[in-house]
Amino acid sequence: MRFVKAIWHLLVGIKDALVLLFMLMFFGLLYAALSVRPEAVGDGVLAMDLDGVLVEQAERPDPLSTLAGTGNVTREFELRELVAALDAAKDDDRVKAVALDLDGFLGGGQTAISALGEKLDEVKKSGKPVVAFATGYTDDRYQLASHASEVWLPAMGAIAIAGPGGNNLYFKGLLDKLGVTANIYRVGTYKSAVEPFMRSDMSPEARENAQALGDALLETWKEDIARARPASVAGLGRMLADPVGVSKAAGGDLAKAAVDLKLVDKIGERRDYEARLAELGGKDNKGPQPYKRIKLAAYEDEAIDRSEGPIGVITIAGEIVDGKAGPGRAGGETISRLIDKGLAKDNLKALIVRIDSPGGSALAAERIRQSLLGAKKAKIPVVVSMGNVAASGGYWVSTPGDYVFAEPSTITGSIGVFGVLPSFEGTLAKLGVGADGIKTTPLSGEPDLLKGPSDAADALIQAGVEQVYRKFLTIVADARHKSPADVDRIAQGRVWDGGSARQLGLVDGFGGMNEAVAKAAELAKLGEDERGLTYLTEEPSFADTLFADVAGDETSDDQAPADALATLAPAPESLLARAITEVRSILNGPTIQARCLECPPSAVAPRLSADDRGWLARMLGV
């Protein structure tokens, strides 16, 4: 009994210590949050240190991960907030110039970068310099920097433009070694999302589609840079055609080559770049930088218009998933409720659907579509604005639009459906483990992941996939005023760039959010002074705000890679993480998915295990 009492007292002591520790952490964070005062914005240079990725909608930090120090450390900058800051900056006498520090910029898609670049162009037209600096310019970094009035590069820096392309991982050989069978169900000649599980290389059809898409994206990338920096056109062509020859012609001096080709304006170190900013915005002898610096976060807080207007905006960003999900991930239930809640207020006259999603659950996409159809039934016009990606399930949710905008660099289409079920009969055989049992009906114990799905289960799942594909075709045909046969010819899972999509009739016109707002106002017969926006989103809780302050602290000491090659090369761990994320999201998601593999990956949080519903209900996501 003494031993039991001792163990009990030990457990109680551990519990009390943990409670005390979490209380101290909570009140420490609470004190830190309450101690933060809104930072006054003075005059100087608006410092856009974009150390992270540009996104349509930023994820909120997970409280437990933040406390444990295991949360996502990649900062996310919302396009809408950056656009608002630049919109204000061009007419703000306090802002003398804009500084683009791109050493830590991880990209964000051609369409989003082009939209941000247009705002930088407006700042330049207002007479304010935009100065960009990076140790190494990648495709995305240079696309954004080309909109600056001055592009700086250190003497040991480099520009390395790779263009769209790269490799995907294929797991067929690994699955064979492990004895895992990937049971594939799909419709669509070009639906390549399942190929990594059934091949060791790219199929000719997938290669054809990917090559056409990559070539189109390269052209739109070059066109954006040509508009922003016409003097660089010839040099950029030489760099793309013969990068080794360009290097040799400059004696191996990559920075000199960039200047000779008119890709950059100045060769200078960071201290020279900061001295130039001090010339433009004034000197600061007290701060860590020698120039007067307007912090981006503080300026955004001032610039963002939080008033509400008659045009609602619902954002569908990230993977489309069943149920509820926070910002940065499109939960079918969450998005649907936000739309229904916005419509219930009875003050919306039009609705804009902003999409940046490669798709996901077909059932969740249909859940969102039904709510958008509810807006149309209420005689509220629906205008769709596509961002970087609106493919597969992302295109599914665009179909209720009365008018659909895309950009030439938007990735869309991918009208196809697939499903993957892993089974482990080969693995068990390798381990010498058998599996056996009884059946009372042809579907008892199906799909059997130990011995492999039966022929009956295979047939039923394939029928479900084909049924969803037929519905997809019908939805698109009705929306685009085509026959299902016409849609099928341009569907089959094929991915299109925005320019091709417009020619095929999958979208109505080119444009971004400004054009979408104008069209929504036109359809709703709103005047020029009635174009205010109401963003349909969940307000962050106190805990969200608290942990966002901790996770997004701008005083982080993390440094960007110090040399050009380190900044240009993708981190191996990020490539591996992407591959793991793709596999998990496909295998852990609903069996029937409308998703685009060729589209940029979205961050996906681990999903909970399936509940105890029937297997067919789980597969169809109902």
Cβ(392)–Cβ(594) under 8 Å?
Answer: yes
What is the rounded distance in angstroms from the CA atom of residue 277 to the CA atom of residue 99?
8
Contact residues for 532 (Cβ-Cβ < 8 A; gap 6+) = 305, 307, 308, 309, 310, 311
Structure tokens at 558: 């993390």
- Enclosing H/E stretch for 245: helix 243-249
Structure tokens at 425: 């009969």
Question: Could you give the count of Cα atoms lying within 13 Å of 76 in the half-sphere of its Cβ?
Answer: 17
Single out the residue of 498, 495, 494 nearest to residue 509, CA to CA. Answer: 498
CA 619 to chain centre: 26
Taking the CA atoms of the chain, what radius of gyration do you get in angstroms? 26
What is the rounded distance in angstroms from the CA atom of residue 110 to the CA atom of residue 116?
10
Cβ(78)–Cβ(318) under 8 Å?
Answer: no
Could you write out the DSSP letters of every residue in 516-559?
HHHHHHHHTT--TT---EEE--PPPPHHHHHHHHHHT-TT----
Single out the residue of 262, 269, 259 nearest to residue 232, CA to CA. Answer: 262
Residue position matching structure tokens 């204000």: 88
SS3 364: helix
What is the rounded distance in angstroms from the CA atom of residue 403 to the CA atom of residue 518?
11
Residue position matching structure tokens 């994820």: 59
Please write down the HEC assignment for all residues of 439-505: CCCCCCCCCCCCCCCCHHHHHHHHHHHHHHHHHHHHHHHHHHCCCHHHHHHHCCCCEEEHHHHHHHC
Single out the residue of 307, 293, 291, 292 nearest to residue 84, CA to CA. Answer: 307
Q: Which residues are catalytic?
A: 191, 392
Burial class for 248, CB neighbours closer than 10 Å (0-12, 13-18, 19+)? exposed
Cβ(464)–Cβ(443) under 8 Å?
Answer: no
Could you write out the DSSP letters of every residue in 264-329?
-SEE--HHHHHHHHHHHH-B-SSSSSSB-EEEHHHHHHHH------SEEEEEEES-EESS---TTS
Cβ(196)–Cβ(170) under 8 Å?
Answer: yes
Structure tokens at 38: 């809104």
Contact residues for 92 (Cβ-Cβ < 8 A; gap 6+) = none
Could you write out the DSSP letters of every residue in 70-138?
-S--SEEEEHHHHHHHHHHHTT-TTEEEEEEE-TT-----HHHHHHHHHHHHHHHHTT--EEEE-SEE-
